[in-house]
Structure 1
Amino acid sequence: MKSKSEPTLYVKKQGMDDILIVALYVDDLVFTGNNMKTIEDFINEMVKKYEMSDMELLHHFLGIEIYQGDDGGFICQSKYVEKVLKKFKMFGCKPISTLLVVNEKLMKEDGGKKVDETLYRSLVGNLFYLTAIRPNIMFAATLLSRFTNNPNYIHLGLAKRVLRYVQGTMDYGIKYDKGNEVILVGFCDRLAVIGEDVLMT
């Protein structure tokens, strides 16, 4: 069954305990499941119809590094981070421990000298791709994206500050421990009460 929200994702379910998940990207195919027989049947069918190679554990996919072991898995983008830092001539820069300056107010028009929009947009786009594994930079990337039209040196300076933070945290990623229960926790800084409805703003 094709996913309704993600056109490159397919899921096959047979009962409650047999699931196969397949993701496609151009000519790359990633698949996983909880039943080895189903996975092996899928591989055999694919090999009959298509020329396939590298049917081993996943190590790299779309700039994401995957490390798998008996205790779980770890995903990161350290090689992609290095590539981005080199692209913007920031590799080896002095790292910092905080993403943003507290209470710094940014405006679209503050009289600052304009910078190349294409360069700025490329930098912000690269930061957004990092948020797949690094949700801790999502706020900064979103803030920077507000200034993709007519960015100035202040906006570019803030974007480079984020790169300095990323330089110091290149090996950060997400660890998935095998067998541990996953609990999703969300936070909100403001609540608006309208009648009996509570809205997050």
Structure 2
Amino acid sequence: MEQPQGFIDQDKPDFVCKLSKSLYVLKQAPRAWFDSLKATLLRWKFQNSKADSSLFFYKTPQVVILVLIYVDDIIVTGNSSSDLKKFTTRLNDHFALKDLGPLSFFLGIEVHRDDTGIYLNQARYIKELLIKTGMKHLKPCSTPMIVGKMLSKSDGEPLDNPTAYRSVIGGLQYLTHTRPDLSFAINKLSQFLQVPTTAHWSAMKRVLRYLKGTLHHGLHIKYSEKLPLTGYSDADWACCPDDRRSVAGYCVYLGDTLVSWLSKKQAVVSRSSTESEYRALAHVAAEISWTQSLLKEFGFPLP
């Protein structure tokens, strides 16, 4: 440990400050804040979800309030406007809050509403990413990857500055929260972070070109008369040219709304296409079980 800049004692260079209060920049600060907020909510008869530790809910036969927490960003929703207002007022009495009104922006995700439901997209985040990478001038394209060409570790020449590639891929990974159409491409490009090449860089630029032409694509959360949980899975057997592992993917719908998806290379080599399909099926079955357990906690069990 070192003395903080501006508070260095020249006579006692080996001494450090004794901390009597958590500071925002410390790694322990978010945990201390969450523990304090959690204790308050539990005292108010809220329950902490076992399926998702960042979710709290209060449920009676008449009132439902859901509180989703990410460090110091909080989403509050429920079925009673008056009870929600009482809750936020009470929470503001204990913690300094800034009420931003109806949800419109959360952690880089934009929220828009109309008569058909809610739209989630990350258009602003994409624009900032294109400016940051100096790719704003690129021409749009219609697909995120070239069809029929599987990338390999041996493609192209090693990059002189692999850090730039890693930085862009890190930015792209956050887009998969609202862009399931990018899951496969970004997962594939993430496999070459150790030694990226010129071919991988070109493939990454194609993803950015695709994003420029699809800025406002995102998720549509819409009304549905029935809410069955439905899952689909698929696997591409031994498709990786480097290690012959399979790539699996799944998507889960709640009613007509897509709520979960994944594209990932399997951890082991499957000896047959049937084996790779069963592994993909196991992943989607686990995701459906998790979603069921979450809904069951709210008192909304679904088939």
TM-score normalised by length of structure 2: 0.59
Residue 42 of structure 1 corresponds to 87
- Aligned pair partner of 2:126 in 58, 77, 81: 81
Residue 4 of structure 1 corresponds to 50
- Residues 158, 195 of structure 2: 8 Å contact kept: no
Rounded Cα–Cα distance in structure 2 between residues aligned with 1:162 and 1:77: 15
- Aligned residue runs from structure 1 range 59-78, under 5 A: 59-78=104-123
Residue 181 of structure 2 corresponds to 136
For residues 122-159 of structure 1, give each alpha carbon's deviation from its aligned partner in whole angstroms, at most 9, with x where no partner exists.
11111111010001100000000100001011111101
The 1:115/1:155 distance shift into structure 2, 3 A limit, reads farther
Structure 2: gaps (5+ residues): 1-46, 237-272, 281-303
Count of residues paired in the alignment: 197
* Higher RCO (CA < 8 A, seq sep 6+): 1
Rounded Cα–Cα distance in structure 1 between residues aligned with 2:275 and 2:113: 45
Q: Which has the larger radius of gyration?
A: 2
3-state secondary structure, aligned to 1:145: helix
Task: State the superposition RMSD in angstroms.
Answer: 2.4
- Aligned residue runs from structure 1 range 99-114, under 5 A: 99-110=144-155, 112-114=157-159
Q: Which amino acid in structure 2 is aligned with residue 157 of structure 1?
A: S
Deviation at 1:40, TM superposition (A): 2.6
- Aligned pair partner of 1:199 in 278, 295, 303: 278
3-state secondary structure, aligned to 1:52: coil
Deviation at 1:186, TM superposition (A): 1.7
Residue 168 of structure 1 corresponds to 213
Residue 119, structure 1, aligned to residue 174, structure 2: no
- Residues 115, 151 of structure 1: 8 Å contact kept: no
Residue 13, structure 1, aligned to residue 92, structure 2: no
Structure 1: gaps (5+ residues): none
Identity %, equivalent residues: 32
TM-score normalised by length of structure 1: 0.86
